[in-house]
Amino acid sequence: MADTDDFLAWVKSSLYQAELALHNGDAGPRRALWSRQEPVSVLGAWRTALGQQELDELFTGLARQFSNCTSYRFELLSYDVVGDMAYTAGLERTSASVDGEPRTYILRATQIYRREDGAWKVAHRHADTVGG
């Protein structure tokens, strides 16, 4: 149970703060939580990235687009931790400027994590829009 408690604490603190930073135009915290080991992938609501180079380009581009986040909430719907692997599925409710225009939207997001050197890292993300 300690693994699950530690994982959920990480999701609610470090991961949450990294997503908030991205929506305020700073991709550094998000990138720090992503695996540097292959494979990594994003099947995103707006863009797809496969591998480290595409992931870096995606996060840099998203940081340029996002600013002025007035609200970010992650509603965790499902999760599990099995050894050194975990997943989350939930709804991301965001109000931020995208390319300078205020937007409010909801994404369904599923992420897969692996523990590397004792720390959780994101290995895959899939998200799509559900309304706003």
pLDDT band at residue 131 under the 50/70/90 scheme:
low
Residues in the chain: 132
Q: Residues 85-104: what's their mean pLDDT?
A: 98
The CA dihedral of 34, 13, 28, 38, to the nearest 10 degrees, is: 0
What is the average pLDDT value for the chain, to the nearest integer?
A: 96
At 66 the pLDDT is 98
> What domains does the chain contain, in order, with CATH numbers?
2-131 (3.10.450.50)
Q: Quick one: pLDDT band at residue 2, thresholds 50, 70, 90?
A: confident
What CA–CA distances, in Å, run from 64 to 27, 89, 118, 129? 9, 26, 31, 20
Is it true that the peptide bond before 39 is cis, omega within 30 degrees of 0?
A: yes
Maximum alpha-carbon separation in the chain = 44
Q: pTM (2 decimals)? A: 0.94
